Amino acid sequence: MCDTFYISSKISEDGSNIFCKNSDRPYGESQAIMLLPPEKRSDTIKATYIKIKGKDRKYSVFIGKPFWMWGGEFAINSAGVCIGNEALFTKIKIKGNNGLLGMDTLRFSAEISGSAEESLQNIIELIERYGQDANSAYDKDFRYHNSFLILDTDKVFYVETVGRNYAFREIKDDFFSISNKMIICGDSNGTLSCPKKYERKIYSFLAGGKQRREKIIKEIQRKVDNGKKISLKDCIEILKIHGFGTRSVCMHYGIFCPSQTANSVICLVHNDGNIVIWATGTPHPCISVFKPFVFGTQVPYSEIFLPSGKKDSSLWWISITLHQKLFKDKKMLKDYRENIEDLQEKIIRIYKEVHSDKKSVYELLEQSINWELKVIKKYSKADYF
C-alpha cells in the first residue's frame, strides 16, 4: 500500500511541479536512499529476479529502495523525471518469479528516460516484454500488478497495468492522486479499455486505497478552494494524514494494518532545471524529518542511509526502534513530535534563504542529518550512539 500524488506548477507556491509519495511496505522491511550516478553497463542487467536487456544509465537517479530488491519504490532522475508506483490487486493470477517488479520497472525507466513521455514508453515496453510475475515481499508471498504516476516539468501520465497489458491517460488536472485502487475505464490509450473491470475488489477494499486517495484529494481541494498555493509544508502535512488501519496515509503497523510507511519523498521540479528532493529515509512521516537532497552532490554519511534487513546502526533502524518506544508513551511522543516539527520549520526556513545555491543546500542537508540525529539521540539514549 502506498500513496502518490502530484501538484502542478499552476497551484504550487514556488512554481514547481511537485511529486510526492509515501512508500508503504510490509512491517520491518527497511528502505535505503541511494543517489546513483550515470554508468556504462553490459548487455544485460540483473534486476531483482531476472536478467533484462541492458542499457547505460544515462541520468543520475535518486531512489528509495527496499533493502533486498534491485528496484525502487520511487525514482527521480537528473532530467526531472519522477516516477512512483502503486500496487493494484487484479483477478489475473501472478505466479513464479519470471518477471519484473513494478519497482524494477520504474527504476530502469528513470535510468534511461529524458522525459515523462519517454518514461511512459519505456515502462510500456518493459511491461510488454517481461511481464510482472514476481513476488514483491521479502519474507512472505505478496503479489500484485502496478500503476505508475510519471511526471516532468511539462507532462504527467498515469498508467494502470494488468499482466502485460496497460491503459494510460495524460493528466491535465492541476493535481492528481493515486492509491491502491483502479480508476481507469474508458477515456484512455493502450491495450486495455477498462482495466478497472479486472480489479479484485475485496483486496482493494481491504487495502483502503479509495479512502486514502479521497482524503488526499479533499485536503488539496480544500486548500485550493481557500485560494492557497500549495507549499512544501502543505505536502508534508498531507503525507502525515492519519486514519484507521489501512485508511491512514501515514501508515502505522497494527492489528488492522500489516504495513507501515517506510519512506517518504517530495520532489520540487522547476522549469529552470533546479530539482530538490525532500526525503525522510525513515518510517512514519508524522515524526520524521524531510531533508533536502540535490543532484551534482553525494549523499552525506551515505552508510546511514543503507539499512540491512535486520536491526543495525542505520538511520532507518534507529528511527523505527525509537518510534516503537514513542508509540507506547503519549507524553514523550507529543514532546518528540514538537521537537521534530520545530526542526522541520528551521530547515525549511533556511532552505528558502539558500535554495538557489546547490552548495548551500548540500551543507543544509549535512546539518539537517546531524540535527535529526541529535534529537533521536536525546530520546533514544541507546548504546549504538
Q: Are the C-beta atoms of 218 and 109 separated by less than 8 Å?
A: no
The total number of structural domains that make up the chain = 1
List the grid coordinates of 53: 536487456
pLDDT higher than 60, residue 205: yes
332 within domain boundaries = no
- For residue 373, being part of any structural domain is answered with no
Mean pLDDT, residues 299-303 taken together: 95
* pLDDT for the residue numbered 217: 98
206 pLDDT higher than 60: yes
Which of 48, 46, 57 lies closest to 81 in space, CA to CA? 57
Within-domain flag for 270: yes
Q: Average model confidence (pLDDT) for the chain?
A: 96
The CATH number given to whatever domain includes residue 113 is 3.60.60.10
1, pLDDT greater than 90: no
Q: Give the mean pLDDT of 66-82.
A: 98
| Tens of pLDDT, residues 220-278 | 999 999 999 999 999 999 999 999 999 999 999 999 999 999 999 999 999 999 999 99
- What integer pLDDT is reported at residue 82 of this predicted model? 98
149: containing domain: 2-301
Residue 323 lies in a domain: no
CA torsion through residues 33, 23, 192, 183, sign: negative
Is residue 383 predicted with pLDDT exceeding 60? no
Say yes or no to pLDDT of 172 above 70: yes
DSSP state, 159?
E
Torsion of CA 219, 220, 226, 229, to 10 degrees: 140
Confidence of residue 356 (pLDDT cuts 50, 70, 90): confident
Residue 347 has pLDDT above 90, yes or no: yes
What are the two backbone dihedrals, phi and then psi, of residue 316, each rounded to the nearest 5 degrees? -60, -50
Q: Which pLDDT belongs to residue 381?
A: 76
Q: What are 185-200's pLDDT values in tens digits?
A: 999 999 999 999 999 9
CA distance 261 to 263: 6
Asked if residues 152 and 115 have their Cβ atoms less than 8 Å apart, the reply is yes
Would 379 be classed as within a structural domain? no
Is residue 254 in a domain? yes
- In this prediction the pTM is 0.97
What is the residue whose three cell numbers read 508524522? 286
Residues of the chain with pLDDT > 70: what percent? Answer: 99
- List the strands of the sheet with 165-170, edge to edge: 31-36, 61-66, 74-77, 82-88, 145-151, 156-162, 165-170, 189-190
H-helix or E-strand spanning residue 305: none
The residues near 22 (Cβ < 8 Å, ≥ 6 apart) are: 2, 3, 4, 239, 249, 250, 251, 261, 264, 285
253 assigned to some structural domain = yes
